[in-house]
Amino acid sequence: MAVFSRCSRAATAVKSPNAAAVAAFSHVIRPLFHSFSSSTLDPETDLNRNKPAGLGTLKREPKGRNVQWVFLGCPGVGKGTYASRLSNLVGVPHIATGDLVRDELASSGSLSSQLKEIVNQGKLVSDEIIIDLLSKRLEKGEAKGESGFILDGFPRTVRQAEILEGVTDIDLVINLKLREEALLAKCLGRRICSECGGNYNLASIDIKAENGRPGMHMSSLPPPPECASKLITRPDDTEEVVKNRLRIYQSTTRPVEDFYRSRGKLLEFDLPGGISESWLKLLHALNLEDHGNKQSAAA
């Protein structure tokens, strides 16, 4: 569709997230979201801070109604892991802007050199670049007949949240939280198989309870034997870069939590440990069950 190419170029050309960027993004994604007919949540749902409650039954119409969710959380908290699992469970695409950025880097496309410098320094990618990449991904999804979504990595700024709010309704924003020492260890332990692209984590985290805070154990996620010799570390997973990303998150993305909290759409979920300790509790907080895979919590 020609309109997508024109709007993507327009969004990329804008130097700051002003009215032109908003208009470009709106023209790109409004036709897509028009057919997505969002799910509705029980209006009596309790989304109080630090008290993830059951969300009531997710009401889904028989035709064309799929959830429209957003995942928030510090870098390395596990947004991609849990968003991907929920994506499979509720049958909507998981769209991770981090993956879009990495795909663009690997493609040697027009943005790759600019992105490489930004990512390696742990900086946030600009609104214009993210909007351009997300617009292209949504266009491909529309062509395949996708409906609904779970966004991971967007919005990261209040401005992005305002743009998104202007073109579609978000049903729920799930904010994953994890202690900073565990976050740092997880980021430094991440590995990727250079051949199959599989994600693994070599960090085994064992934090003792102290000063009234509960202990935490997170097992490593080792690769299968065929990938063990092919592991690589992401260039941005160094201690200096990770700490910088956390600082940027605190100053830039924390306000996004307040944005959605004020609208009654924020579910704050403190991860009690690794996947085996957290997955079923997250499903309980969302009032969902994983009937199709009883072993998923331990995977």
Catalytic positions, please? 79, 156, 190, 234, 245
CA neighbor of 159 nearest in space, from 62, 17, 15, 64: 17
DSSP 8-class letter at 201: E
Instruction: Spell out a b/e string for 24-34, using b for 16 or more CB atoms within 10 Å of the CB, else e.
Output: bbbbbbebbbe
Per the structure block, which two tokens stand in for 167? Answer: 């073109």
Q: Report yes or no: 8 and 100 within 8 Å, Cβ to Cβ.
A: no
Per the structure block, which two tokens stand in for 275? Answer: 């996947």
Written as one letter, the residue type at 17 is: P
Q: Report yes or no: 29 and 168 within 8 Å, Cβ to Cβ.
A: yes
Task: Give the phi and the psi of residue 196 in degrees, each rounded to 5.
Answer: -100, -15
CA neighbor of 220 nearest in space, from 201, 192, 237, 193: 201
